[in-house]
Structure 1
Amino acid sequence: MEHIYTAERAISPATGTVRWVVVDARTYDLQHEAVAYLASLRSRGCSPNTERAYAGRLALYLNYCRMHRLRWAVPGFTGLTSLQQWLIETPLPSRTAHPGPDPARYRSRPTANAVMTVVGEFLRHGAAHGLVPAATTALLTQPKLLRFTPPGYDTGESGRLHQIQAAAFRFKSTETGYQDLSPEQIRRMIALTPRARDRFLIALMACTGLRIGEALGLHRADMHLLTSSRTAGCGTQGPHVHVHRRTDNPNRALAKSRFSRYVPVTADLVALYTDYQYERDQEPQAADSPMVFVNLFRPPFGQAMSYSNTKETFDRLAAAVEHACRPHMLRHSAATRWLRDGVDRDVVQRLLGHASPLSMESYRHVDDAEARAAVEHVASLRERP
């Protein structure tokens, strides 16, 4: 298929602000409806990573409509059903440039579901602005009876909320869950990282459970690492970091939580921050930046570290340690460790910045040692007279 629409990064020549847009690759004209929808994501405070991913999925949908001669605003039931199947049956482009056949790769069902979710939101956004008829949005959901409800779900008076409106175009798939890292794996990651900045970033996320957007959005004024921070106007005792939701960070890093919080840190983390400060002082252009994490090893020197730069750092690290290591795995590891060590769930919820206790359900894993201990405990009870 010839790709006409493509997701592109647009940089404002006046402010340097980075945005994602969908353009016609032949003329570089903007696809205005898609661009308006992406702008709505920014107005809701979505992260640049979300905007980039949604731009690519919108371009994919628009190309599908063009290839099948469908109007994007009126794809019809058949068009949406065919799109759902097309997503998992169409081979993905080869990742390598060398000649010769490569094993065919296909989208997974969860990936297809993610694309269909974006398509549904895009069509609803168009309907809200009079571009998509109500008959189209009516196709996107269907009634579903909940046989089993998640913990804490309120079914209402007489159970009337057992029936909900569920996505109509969605594959059934098994949730793989989050991956966590063992303390030994995290220590090895830190040991194999040659740069003090990156060692501190890994240790910070593993120690505090911060999201990557929260870490990249930290300001130097947020680092209260003395025994007492009263001189900075803070009454919290002991070393800690403050997490604030800011919308004006130069790297567009966002804290997902809308509520400010502080997270205590250890003496070992303070020592790693000191090492990083010494490394940072070697780059004169970093002196005036208020951000904690800045570019030290490639231009633009001294400017706030970006999401893409961080991803490249973790990709290099994954190759060195020979296992997957993504930023969110460190957050998940911190939460799993706290729960496994018996930390109260309310405390863990506050440390992670979750508004709802239901968000904690995915963090508790049963490891091999716990499972074996449970079985051996039952066996020992049976052996007693």
Structure 2
Amino acid sequence: MTAMRWLVRSGRRLTAPRARRLCAMPADDRPAPNGGAPRRGGAAAQSRAARGTRAIHQALPPPLRDAVDEFADHLARVRNRSAHTVRAYVTDVVSLLDHAARMGCVDVATVDLAVLRSWLARLRTAGAARTSLARRAASARVFSAWAHRSGLLPADVGAMLASPRAHRELPGVLRADQAAALVEAPGRLTGGDGVDDPLLSRDRALLELLYGTGVRVSEACGLNLADIDHGRRVIRVLGKGGRERAVPYGVPAQQALDDWVRHGRPTLAAPHSQDALFLGARGGRLNPTTARRIVGGYAEAADLPRTSPHGLRHSAATHLLEGGADLRAVQELLGHSSLASTQIYTHVSVERLRSAYRQAHPRA
């Protein structure tokens, strides 16, 4: 039986070997900051989903299964998509082709617009959210376009596939004092006399970096020691599509990173740590699922509004704009390929707009 070709993470770079299974990143068994038991729900759910996708993939008719493998390789090798992005596309396409097979399709050439529409209708009936339906429809369109270019489909049937417009919900923005309370929370757990526990040292550095730079959680977890320029206070970030950018950080983040690299990291480091900047409790590279749990746990422990790494990114961008930063500069810092992606943060910069209104409008 043909093995599924898949992306695996090799350090912070991605390679595209023919792997035999979907890989789900391990969960860190670190306790929550408030002393609670480790929470594994997110990682366990991802692992179950990965196992389900593998089983469905293996049960597909060989022509459909081979098409999934070739599509995954195309995304990895030609489009240079990240492992996370490829995994999302493949999960959706496996679901689509499983539905197509149940409707009697034995190869990609027999998949038509009616199959795509009935697949979305089944998902909608099962209770899928509008955002999920929109994403899956987008995956179907990308797969259809690729299959047509590859000669597997006589026509690009996905080009006519409509999908519900997803409501774009932005995460809540922390006030500057709330963000400061969050990033300082690990230090308070030691009584304020220095961070001596390696996990607290890591958490402090992670929180300072996420808020201080606005990087994505996947970008932070993908950092290597060599990506930190301590002298210039700049990190080299590998963003979406393999695009690199340099992002500056401030003195608090520098102090936290220095403490972590010099004192905390050596305690957790293991042979398999390689060059990873942030490590889990077992010495492996910290994964985004654990990083999200860390941020949420400290917010809860500090009695702050619920937030996430993306919430910190959103807060950082909003505070930059409210402080008068140029929109283009914020776009560069965040790694947005389009200015339109950055402009969404201006919608919540109410205080900045009010200030400009009071200063400029004669009737203010």
TM-score normalised over the length of structure 2: 0.70
Q: Distance in 1 between matches of 2:86 and 2:16?
A: 17
Partner residue of 1:40? 74
Q: Where do 5+ consecutive residues of structure 1 fail to align?
A: 1-6, 91-105, 143-167, 227-237, 246-254
**Equivalent residue of 1:343, what SS?**
coil
Match for 2:205 among 197, 200, 205? 200
Partner residue of 1:268? 252
Q: Where do 5+ consecutive residues of structure 2 fail to align?
A: 10-14, 23-49, 190-199
Structure 1 segment 285-324 matched on structure 2, within 5 A: 285=270, 289-295=274-280, 297-298=281-282, 301=283, 303-314=284-295, 316-317=297-298, 320=301, 323-324=305-306
**115-124 or 260-269: which moved more?**
260-269
Q: Deviations over 1:125-180 (max 9, x none)?
A: 2222222221xx1x3335xxxxxxxxxxxxxxxxxxxxxxxxx3211343324543
RCO (CA 8 Å, sep 6+): is it higher in 1 or 2? Answer: 2
Indicate whether 1:225 and 2:230 are aligned: yes
Q: Distance in 1 between matches of 2:361 and 2:152?
A: 66
The aligned amino acid for 2:235 is V
Partner residue of 1:338? 320
Partner residue of 1:184? 177
The answer on whether the counterparts of 2:134 and 2:165 sit within 8 Å (CA) in structure 1 is: no
Match for 1:111 among 132, 147, 160? 132
Partner residue of 1:229? none
Q: Distance in 1 between matches of 2:16 and 2:154?
A: 37
Partner residue of 1:241? 235
How many residue pairs match? The answer is 306
RMSD: 3.7
Q: Shift of residue 257 of structure 1?
A: 6.0
Q: Deviations over 1:4-58 (max 9, x none)?
A: xxx998879xx99777395445967872211221122222222222122222212
The answer on whether the counterparts of 1:205 and 1:331 sit within 8 Å (CA) in structure 2 is: yes
Greater helix share, structure number: 2
Q: Distance in 1 between matches of 2:202 and 2:247?
A: 20
Mark the CA change 1:329 to 1:72 in structure 2 (over 3 Å): closer, same or farther.
farther
Q: Shift of residue 288 of structure 1?
A: 7.2
The answer on whether the counterparts of 2:205 and 2:260 sit within 8 Å (CA) in structure 1 is: yes
Q: Distance in 1 between matches of 2:210 and 2:309?
A: 8
Kindly name which structure, 1 or 2, has the bigger radius of gyration based on alpha carbons: 1
Structure 1 segment 92-131 matched on structure 2, within 5 A: 106-131=127-152
TM-score normalised over the length of structure 1: 0.67
Q: Shift of residue 71 of structure 1?
A: 4.8
**68-77 or 24-33: which moved more?**
24-33
Q: Shift of residue 305 of structure 1?
A: 2.5
**Equivalent residue of 1:381, what SS?**
coil
